[in-house]
Amino acid sequence: KQTYNVVVLPGDGIGPEVVEQATRVLELISSKSDTFSISLKSYDFGGCAIDSAGKPLPDDTLAACKEADAILMGSVGGPKWGVGKVRPEQGLLALRKELDLYANIRPCLFPSESLLSHSPLKPEVAKGVSFIVVRELVKGLYFGDRQEANLEDGSDGAAFDTMVYNRHDVERITKLGAYLALQSNPPAPLHSIDKANVLATSRLWRRVVQDTVDSQFASQGITVDHQLVDSASMVMVSNPRKLNGIILTENMFGDILSDESSVIPGALGLLPSASLSGLPDGKGKCNGLYEPIHGSAPDIAGKGIANPVGTILSAAMLLRYSLNQGELADKVEAAVRKVLDAKDVGGHELRTADLGGKHGSKDVGDKVVEVLESLL
């Protein structure tokens, strides 16, 4: 029987609360499988690692992540660690860089049609939205040369961040986007989003995306259009179906657009992500880190009311992309959909407060586990 080693990084704030519900799902799958088992081991990461080890990404955590078959993460950061010199978020950026997790996949689709009435968008606007944000994750403004301002020495306090992309960076993320586009039949369209009317990096981005599609994917029926990020962000909430398919974009734009996309299904806590170091085609080693797109939510941490769905759906992505268990991933997603549609004995929806429900993280986790068990 094969054993998959999954490193678990609960992190800070609501991180541990949502991760606990997702690990229950993986434990159930492990206990029911005849062919493999999943071994889960937790490590300190983020603010809690600053407290215990003095740095957000301790050496043993990094070593375990490098060895692992996959990583399941919650979220890092919080007011306790502020924006000082050593910050939890630096650990996350370092981990992404160390493992070269260049492709951040953030699907935005309705996990359940019953959520339509909860979306702040009109149902006829939100209905049928289905796109995947593919965000470049190890370059751009996050990783270029930077200078902090010195506001104490009487100078003008200049600060800068720099955005650098090269051909290779854009080519590999385009290939990954095309790989995902080819998972549907006919292939999903690519929408490349940039700011080519201002930025040199965006003009490079636009050319390399187009060249890569023309030379390697047009013959397989893949099309690409190019949009400016300001107007695309408006389209995302006014006519989001226009973006159905694969949204290909650089690091910072992808960060912002993916949080914006959570408005469509109606809650940030619903959306999962995968960060990969290569194509998840089962050929060759591909590192994968799976986490909900949201942060540590300090405003609700410790109350047991965080929505665990984004993290449970991240565990489904882990099964699909790192453990090559697509059918089990489908079952987890089906279980989540059923739970979002379900009502409790009193006739209330079985949802957390962000979706207008009265239930806690554990109630939702309990129900997902129960429904999944019946599907296995």
Is 194 catalytic? The answer is no
Binding piece for ligand IPM, criterion CB under 6 A, among 1-9, 13-21, 47-55, 85-93 = 85-93
Strand ranges inside 241-371, DSSP E: 245-249, 272-276, 288-292
Residue 215: how many CB atoms within 10 A of its CB?
A: 10
Q: Using the rule CB under 6 A, which residue among 65, 68, 92, 243 binds ligand IPM?
A: 92
Q: Using the rule CB under 6 A, which residue among 7, 180, 293, 372 binds ligand IPM?
A: 293
Of the candidates 139, 195, 331, 367, the residue annotated as catalytic is 195
Give the nearer residue to ligand NAD in terms of CB position, either 201 or 352: 352
Residue 168: how many CB atoms within 10 A of its CB?
A: 11
**Residue 99 · residue 258 · CB < 8 Å:** no
Rounded CA separation 330/141 (Å): 35
Rounded CA separation 125/265 (Å): 11
CA-nearest of 356, 322, 314 to 2 is 322
Is 142 catalytic? The answer is yes
Binding piece for Mn ion, criterion CB under 5 A, among 64-72, 193-201, 250-258, 273-281 = 250-258
Q: Using the rule CB under 6 A, which residue among 23, 61, 75, 112 binds ligand NAD?
A: 75
Q: How far is the CB of 133 from ligand IPM (least distance, A)?
A: 11
Nearby residues of 293 by Cβ (< 8 Å), 6 or more positions away: 106, 258, 259, 262, 268, 271, 272, 273, 310
Span 335-364, contacts to ligand NAD by CB under 6 A: 354
Q: How far is the CB of 305 from ligand NAD (least distance, A)?
A: 7
Residues in binding contact with ligand NAD, number by CB under 6 A:
22
Q: Using the rule CB under 5 A, which residue among 69, 255, 333, 349 binds Mn ion?
A: 255
Give the nearer residue to ligand IPM in terms of CB position, either 187 or 269: 269
Determine the straight-line distance between the first and last CA of the chain, rounded to whole angstroms. 18
Instruction: Please list the active-site residues.
Output: 142, 195, 230, 255, 259
